[in-house]
Amino acid sequence: MIDWLEGIINAFQGLGPLGAALFVGAYILAALLLLPEALFSVAAGVIFGMGWGLVVSWSAAMASSMLAFLIARYALRERLEKYVKKSKWLDAANHALPKEGWKVVALARLSPLVPFGLQNYLFGTTKVKLRAYAAATALAILPGTIVAVFLGATGRALLGGGDALKWGLFAAGIVASVVLSWFLGRIAKKRLGIR
């Protein structure tokens, strides 16, 4: 298993900038198809390390979020609006959007209630302005992206073996990520008025 993973890592790294571009393309396609983007953020950390992994993952997440938003707003709006009307979360968000669109988007990004990929499409059917959507998304996805890329980069460092301290730090990072996600999700749900 480790040899197979090392082969993938070496293949992407051997391609240089083309490897990063291919990874970004795969990430965007997966996000548009509503596959879990967090797996790609972790993979970016494994393949590219912490610094470049963060750049690659955040850029791909932003590109996919903007594409899905625009597709929903201009191509799928009528179909998606039927779903929006049935959702308490989206109904609450839509009422708050005219006044504080960026806050609603940022809080929704911090909440695990609706997956990231689906949020991208659903926000395209709402009243939020593109500029507010982009700015809030750019800032609000950063903490989760950092954590996911960190987990990937740390996991890769542990592939070659590691002492108890490294494994302990990795486990503490996972626990901290889960607690942070839970805490931010509770705050976001409370602010959006969802129980």
- Between CA 178 and CA 19 the distance in angstroms is 30
The whole-angstrom distance between residue 127's C-alpha and the CA centroid of its chain comes to 22
pLDDT, tens only, 17-69: 898 899 999 999 999 999 988 889 999 998 898 899 999 999 999 999 999 99
pLDDT at residue 1 greater than cutoff 50: no
pLDDT on residue 182: 63
Q: Are 152 and 46 in contact (CB under 8 A)?
A: yes
Question: Which pLDDT band holds residue 4 (cuts at 50, 70, 90)?
Answer: low
Stretch 160-188: mean pLDDT: 61
- Between CA 99 and CA 89 the distance in angstroms is 17
Domain count, the chain: 1
- Between CA 146 and CA 127 the distance in angstroms is 29
- Between CA 83 and CA 50 the distance in angstroms is 38
Stretch 111-125: mean pLDDT: 83
Structural domain span for residue 72: 2-192
Q: How far is CA 180 from CA 106, 153, 187, in A?
A: 15, 19, 11
pLDDT, tens only, 70-101: 999 998 877 777 766 677 766 666 666 666 77
CB atoms within 10 A of CB 159: 13
Q: What is the average pLDDT score of the chain?
A: 79
pLDDT on residue 25: 95
pLDDT on residue 172: 65
Pick the more confident residue, 161 or 128.
Answer: 128
